[in-house]
Structure 1
């Protein structure tokens, strides 16, 4: 029988969480991302869901056929101005400006002999590797497989693959909605930029 509950806990990195049934019995029910009818999105803590619960051999409850409960009212569509000023648009603009500034810095450093021309291939290769790492991590998240640690993704960004990470965030819609992750991502971008400037300065 389908029941109504609220996602009380959700671990997006490990792909599982718990539902608190609104009728109070049992107190919480385990569910995995594979039990969630994705529809192109991920579960979120606090959302209302419909589910069916089944007691397992160990006596614990597990939910299956979990789906987001339909909202009572459909939210109004945002205006064109609101869409233009959306956080996603602002993120896209910020990233595009950062990549353009980074490209100009690398071009200036090569033109002034601060770094060899061959060095331009390093961020390109690292960006491609980072993009693939993002794509594999998203696929793992959707299929409930082992995820790539966020620390690994951040190390690739710090090493110079952050442009590929930003492109992956925009095109794959992965790691683009977690404020904590975004803060660390831009910190990696800043630290990489500072490291490049310091290197160029020592070569003057």
Structure 2
């Protein structure tokens, strides 16, 4: 049975700390037990299973960060650093760029209107899959496979997939998964750019000669 609690102590350099469950009992946590390779910090809310740790003592296993502790940013600090709390992430910016390319291509008649439907439908499906996978990870249930997530993203779901990764802070750490996601995003960006800016038709004309 999974337990919920809070990370009451964390040594970021050493990669270990202690999680306290609802009963007030502390369990040792090692960075290798944290799901998706996430780097937690003190104050984060977590869920975890109990297993054997060092010297056979109980320790937290399969730790999932369910809520991130956010320190309040003062107005003075915002002004001094120049960092906006509404800063848009790279994934959201890329998804927005793809959407604008689609609208641009349709507006200038370089892309059929019906092609918007697969992006809309599969984008929504991809976002839901990421949401479900995040919830399943928190509750310890069966996960959505990474292959399925990539297939849906490749099949026109990449806009929703990138947006969901940003919103749910999910699947943004594992190097291989991130690299594949960006490869899919680049493929769609190039393809949509070719339609939007009219590069595709001259190229096809050269190829058929």
The TM tier, using the shorter chain, reads: 0.5 to 0.7
Which of 22, 28, 46 pairs up with 1:5? 28
Aligned to 1:122: 118
How has the CA–CA distance of structure 1 residues 121 and 153 changed in structure 2, closer, same or farther, with 3 Å as cutoff? same
Unaligned runs of 5+ in 1: 42-74
What TM-score do you get using the length of structure 1 for normalisation? Answer: 0.59
Q: CA deviation at 1:134?
A: 0.8
Q: Render the CA deviation track for 1:17-49: whole Å, top value 9, x for unaligned.
A: 96644xxx227857355xx7x6625xxxxxxxx
Q: Render the CA deviation track for 1:67-95: whole Å, top value 9, x for unaligned.
A: xxxxxxxx896732558268x9352xx33
Contact 2:127-2:164 at 8 Å conserved across structures: yes
Which of 149, 158, 161 pairs up with 1:165? 161
The alignment's C-alpha RMSD in Å is 3.7
Q: CA deviation at 1:96?
A: 4.1
Contact 1:10-1:18 at 8 Å conserved across structures: no
What SS class does the counterpart of residue 110 from structure 2 fall into? coil
Query: For 2:160 and 2:108, how far apart are their aligned partners in 1?
Result: 26
Query: For 1:148 and 1:103, how far apart are their aligned partners in 2?
Result: 26
Q: CA deviation at 1:131?
A: 0.8
How is 1:20-169 mapped onto 2 (pairs within 5 angstroms)? 20-21=53-54, 25-26=55-56, 29=59, 31-33=61-63, 40=67, 79-80=77-78, 82=81, 84=83, 89=87, 91=89, 94-169=90-165
Unaligned runs of 5+ in 2: 1-23, 37-47, 203-209
Aligned to 1:58: none
How has the CA–CA distance of structure 1 residues 141 and 155 changed in structure 2, closer, same or farther, with 3 Å as cutoff? same
